Amino acid sequence: VYGLDLRDDFQGLCDRFIQFDLNQFVKDAAYRVRFTSIFDNVIPRLDVLINNAAVQKLDSLEHIQLDDWQETLNVNLTGPMLLSKLFLSRLEAQQGCIINIGSIHQQLTKPKFISYATSKSALIGLTRALAVDLEGRVRVNAISPAAIDTSMLRAGFNNDEKAIDALRRLHPVQRIGEPEDIARLAVFLASENGGFLHGANIQLDGGISSVLKDL
């Protein structure tokens, strides 16, 4: 298991960790060449690519900064495309698969999530397009979670436990998701048991997308 992330606190969670800036990889050609060479040497074989990196910049349309918009698209959309392209031959050699981590915001969103929701909607479009383009060479699927108990989610609620508890109750399953929920589904998608899934977007949402709120 190889881990790539901007943060450097993943030691021990994978077999090999490489500190890596996906935004820089997209916008800086020299950085891209450097890390392409590193990946060629360090990752000779790859069975599964999971595009999980994300940036979430919140603002209303009047106040969106172009740099924030572009960074969101770089990390959440263009980065997964470039990494899929880079590792395609290795994935094809292993009859492997690509799993893109989307979001409930690709379907249902909230005010100020313009950049994030747009990028995640486009990522699902990329998932379907790659499935059609790659045919039987490499399977491509997406997981679109609702609320998952991560530092990103808690920061969005200012670590307000009352607000997070209210969020739990909004989900028919009466809890928010855990990272392990995504991991278990990803393992299934990568296995032979998920072998007929291709171009799918699985909503891992605790039932919240089925809820109609009314007064």
Numbers of helices and strands, H then E, in the chain: 9, 6
- d(C-alpha 181, C-alpha 148), whole Å: 9
* Marked catalytic residue, from 17, 25, 113, 116: 116
Is 116 marked active-site? yes
Chain-centre distance for alpha carbon 76:
7
Task: Dig out the tokens for 147 from the structure.
Answer: 């609320």
DSSP conformation letters of 55-124: ----B-GGG--HHHHHHHHIIIIIHHHHHHHHTHHHHHHTT-EEEEE--GGGTS--TTBHHHHHHHHHHH
- d(C-alpha 171, C-alpha 8), whole Å: 33
Task: Dig out the tokens for 15 from the structure.
Answer: 């077999």
Chain-centre distance for alpha carbon 127:
11
Output b/e per residue, 121-145; b: 16+ Cβ within 10 A: bbbbebbbebbeebeeebbbbbbbb
DSSP tag of 48: E
Residues acting as catalytic residues:
116
